[in-house]
Each structure stands twice: as C-alpha cells, then as structure tokens.
Chain A
Amino acid sequence: MAAIFKRELRSCFHGMIGAVLTAFMLAATAIYFVALNLGYGLPDFGYYTLNRTIFVLLLYIPVLTMRSFAEERHSRTDQLLLTSPVSVGGIVLGKYFALCVIFALPCLVDAGMILVLKVLGATGTSTLANFSALLCYYLMGCAAIAIGVFLSGLTENQIIAAVSGVAVLLLAYMMPSLRTMFTTGSAVALALFTAIAAVLSVVAGLRSKSFTLGCLSFAGCCVALTALFLLKSSWLTEAFSAVLSALCLFTPFEEFVNSSFSIPTLVYYLTVAAVFLFFTAQGLEKRRWD
C-alpha cells in the first residue's frame, strides 16, 4: 500500500497535472480571499472564500481523480497491481490517500490565509471557526475524491471518468434546488424505493450468484414497502426526503459556514468516502469474475 501511495503521489507531480491543479485551486481561492477578506476586511474565511469556491471543486476533483484507475487499466498496469501480494483494499486506499494528500496542498495554503487574517486582527473565535470550516471543506473534498475514484474505476477512458465525475458532482451541487421539483407524494416515494429495492436485489443476486436469493430479497422488500405505504405512508415521504438530502453533498458544509461545529456533518463526509471506497474495491474485485 505504501508503494502505491508513493508512486501515485510522484506520478501526479511528474506530469504537470498536480502542479497545474494546485495552482488553479490556489488562484481561485486567492481571488476571493484578496477581494473579499482582505479588500473589505472581513474575517469570515469560511463564508467569503471557502463557500464561494465550492464550484471550483466541481472541476478540480474530477480532473484530479480521473487518472487513478482508468489510466492503470488503459495501460494494463493494473495487472501488476492486482497480481501483487497487496489486497484490493490496499490498492484502493493507497491511491485514495495519495489524492487526499494532493488536495491537502491547497488547503494548507488556505490555512496560511487564515493565519494572515489572524495577524491582521481577526479574533481567536473567528480564527477557530475559520479553521473548523477548513477542516470540513477538506473532508468534503475527500468525500468527493472517493466518488471520483469510484467513477474512474468503472472505465478505462480518463475523459469519460472526468466528465461523469463533473456530472455527478454537479448533480449533487444542484440537488438542493432540484429537490423542490419533486413533490413529496408518497406514491412517488414508493416508486423510488421500489426501484432502489430492485437495484439492490439485482446486486445481491449477482454477488451471491443465486437467482432465487435476488428474487426473494426483492419480494421481501416489496412486501415491506407496500405494508409501509398502507400503514405509515408518512414514513415513506420522510425517508424519501432524507434520501434526497443525503445526495446534497455540499449542503452540510453550510453548518460550518454558519460558524457552528457539527459532528454529524463530519461523520456524513467520512461515511460517503468510506462507502465509495468500498464500492471501488468491490468494482475491482468484480472485474476479475466477469
């Protein structure tokens, strides 16, 4: 795992991509920092700089992650990794941590900007709030990196990995507005959950290579959902909106922008990262069975 981590890190800076991405990210934050924080003398770094540069992540993260697995597969070097005595989990984590370290570079410079604000007279409380916002910003980026890595593992074309990464992150970015379009009627919720149950059952059936198990689990889910729909339909609509809000990747960050420290938000980002890394490993594992 350490070998993969080191190689990934080195290869990012061997080509221009690591340097260019870091410069791009820094230029974007610096503009907001100079114009708002310094220009107007505003000490709130989280709101005026970090929150406004989230859209830059929509481009930065997919370009950063597009190479990770797609390139290995394209150049057949994945054969070396997958036939080495390193577990699939180790391969995924090695690559993921390397990308997290690269994303940490602009964040470290952000930390420098926060210190500049402190020197210029920001209070201890606002400095603390700025740092906690930066922590959450970093974890949010890491969660997005996990999504990008997962998408890169699905294809051997880097462009497709990047474009689908932008699309998925953009969808998550716009989800708060999209949510209002769905009238949360319980029938819509039932349809959605049935579809999710169908997908999960197919996955379960394929994983266990048992047609019966897939059918049984789908039947079980359908019975449970119908029962819920008839008895407690409000639960369904609540769960529906909960699912939609879980898809708003960038919204929980606002908790930190409002200068409050929220443990659930941090847990949410760590969970997203863990889930997508798990999916990535499963995807790699599945390829050898095809």
Chain B
Amino acid sequence: MIEVSHLSKSYGSRPAVQDLSFTVPDGQIYGLLGPNGAGKSTIMNILTGYLAPTQGEVKVAGFRLPEQAQQAKACVGYLPEQPPLYPEMTVQEYLDFVAELKGVKRAQRKQQVLAAARRTGLEEVLPRVIRSLSKGYRQRVGIAQALLGSPQLIILDEPTVGLDPAQVIEIRNLIRELGKAHTVILSSHILSEVQAVCQQVLILSKGHLVAVGSPEELGETLNPGSRLRATAQGEPDTVLAAVRNVPGICRVKLESTADGQVTFTAESEDAADRRAAVSRALTEAGCTVLALAAENRSLEEVFLALTEKTPEQNTPAEGEEN
C-alpha cells in the first residue's frame, strides 16, 4: 500500500525527517510512535500529499508522490492533527461538502454520509453546527470525514488526543474495525494506545526510524534476557541469596519488603524460563513463594530505550533494528 524509500524532508535548513525507508502492506494497522517533534506529522503530511518530500521516493497505492498526487489522494482518507472543520457549517452540511469534494457520486453521497456518521456515532448531532460541538464530537466529525469516499488507506494523526477515556475506547474499537477493511496508519505518542490497536509499530526518534516490528517482537528482540518478578516470605537476605545461587540468574533487585514479604525482580542472560528453578531454590531455603511471574519488557521501556539515545547514536541505533 505504501512504499517509502530514503525519504527526507527539511523545513528550510532544519531537517524534520531523515533517510526514512519502510513499507506498509495492505490491510494492516500501523502505528507511528515517537515523542513530540519526532516527525510523525511530517510523514503523514507527505503521505497524504500535503507536503512534498525534499528527497526520496514515496508511493501510495502504487502512485508516485508528488507526480501522481491526484490519483494517490483519491485513495487516502486523512485526519490531520487538528480536524479540518468549518465551524459555521452543520455536521450534515460539512460531511456533504467533503463527500462532494472527494468526488463521491451524487447518488451515493447521502448513503455514504449516513454510513460514516453511523460508524462514528454522529447521527444525533448531524443537524448541529460544528462550532457548538464538544472536542470529542469534533474529533469524530474529523474521523467521519476521513472515511468518506471509501478510501483504501486511512491516515489518522493522533486520533484520540483530547478525548475522555470512554471516547478513547470507542475510537480504538472503531480503528480496530476499520483495520478489517482498510489499511490504517495512526500516529501517537501514547504507547498503550499503539500497543492496544496496532499490528505493526514504527518507532521514530528525531526524524529517524529506530525500530520496526509488532509490539511483541519489539519487546522480545530488544530484550534477549528474561525477567521475573516474585514475592516470597522470609528474611530478605536469605531470599536474595537463594535466588542469586540459581544458575543463569545474573541480577537480582530487591523491590520492597513488608510484613515479612520480600518482592524482587530477577534477570537472566538468556531467554530461558527460570521460574521453576527459582521456585525450587526458594523452597529449599525455607521461604514460601507467594507470587511468581515472568515479565516481558513492555513497549514503554523499549520506546524509552530507543528514543532517549542521543542524536549521534542514531545511526548505530538504526542498525540495531535487525
């Protein structure tokens, strides 16, 4: 659906995105993840033909940008960071306008507008003026607008910003549903969102692509060792000494002690599961195991590890992704 190779974009002399390459296959939900200013919006603006790349090649649905922009734009529905709404129009007028703008045939217009409004839960507010809508509803109007013209590719720039928790869940469900029929790209700086919705994640930092993969893969590949967290009854020293003696365990960290209960995390060098060995060692030392669970490194840690690297380390970081 999308092929990007060696894409660079600078605003004046300030580089926003540097030498970016990735492909997005059909029918997947891709997440663009990165801290503020990492270049997420820039990439989305380029993919939708709003900005032209300074260098590199971009193909959307088989059409080269910016040369075949018109054909490419017809395949894309876009919700920019700030929903492009005309406050003086009613929701109905606005959606009709966008449908006509996107070249939806007159006969299908009414039905498409209704379908988009139904999917985003806008039916009751159709006759209301956009100016009087709450932020959540405006965001939904923005999403409804992106659905018109049944685009193959839907690009959403931070779709859940400013929504209340119930609305966030609703929008996430909507995105998941969209992912069944469309290719969806969404950007976010909220990890849990990407983890909850996306099948593939692209992590950006300071205009560079630092990692690509599914949320689980990223968690695994970037952390070859395994980690477990346990709570046991007994003296802290006895517990920690017992665990340290388990072969393969390289680091044990005391988390808390309370009421004779010791909570700690233990890390091993390889990915092998050491839960049984740890449990046995503790029992032998006369400590009762109260809880024991393997821990995966969360995407959050991966994210922080990748994006906190200083700019000069960016180039080796790109090599790390494989």
Contact = CB atoms under 8 A, between A and B. Distances in A.
A15 interface: yes
B80 A79 contact: yes
Contact of B73 (A15, A77, A83, A288): A83
A77 B45 CA distance: 13
Contacts of B52: 288-289
Interface residues of B, number: 31
A43 B66 CA distance: 57
Nearest to A85: B74
A15 B88 contact: yes
A119 interface: no
Given A288-B51, A288-B66, A289-B52, A86 B80 contact: no
Interface string B83-110: 0111111000100011011110000000
B76 to A, nearest CB: 7
Interface in B26-79: 45, 48-52, 66, 70-71, 73-74, 76, 78
Contacts of B120: none
A2 interface: yes
Contacts, number: 67
B88 A14 contact: yes
Contact of A290 (B12, B78, B85, B89): B12
A232 interface: no
A11 B86 contact: yes
The prevalent SS among residues of B at the interface is loop
A87 interface: yes
Interface in A145-171: none
A81 interface: yes
Contacts of A14: 88-89
A85 B50 contact: no
A6 B97 CA distance: 9
A87 B70 contact: yes
A3 B97 contact: yes
A283 to B, nearest CB: 14
A25 B52 CA distance: 42
A8 B140 CA distance: 24
B145 interface: yes
A80 B78 CA distance: 8
A76 B80 contact: yes
Given A6-B100, A83-B49, 5 more contacts: A3-B101, A80-B145, A83-B80, A84-B102, A85-B70
9 contacts: A10-B93, A11-B88, A75-B84, A75-B86, A76-B82, A76-B84, A83-B50, A85-B73, A85-B74
Interface of B: 11-12, 45, 48-52, 66, 70-71, 73-74, 76, 78, 80, 82, 84-89, 93, 97-98, 100-103, 145
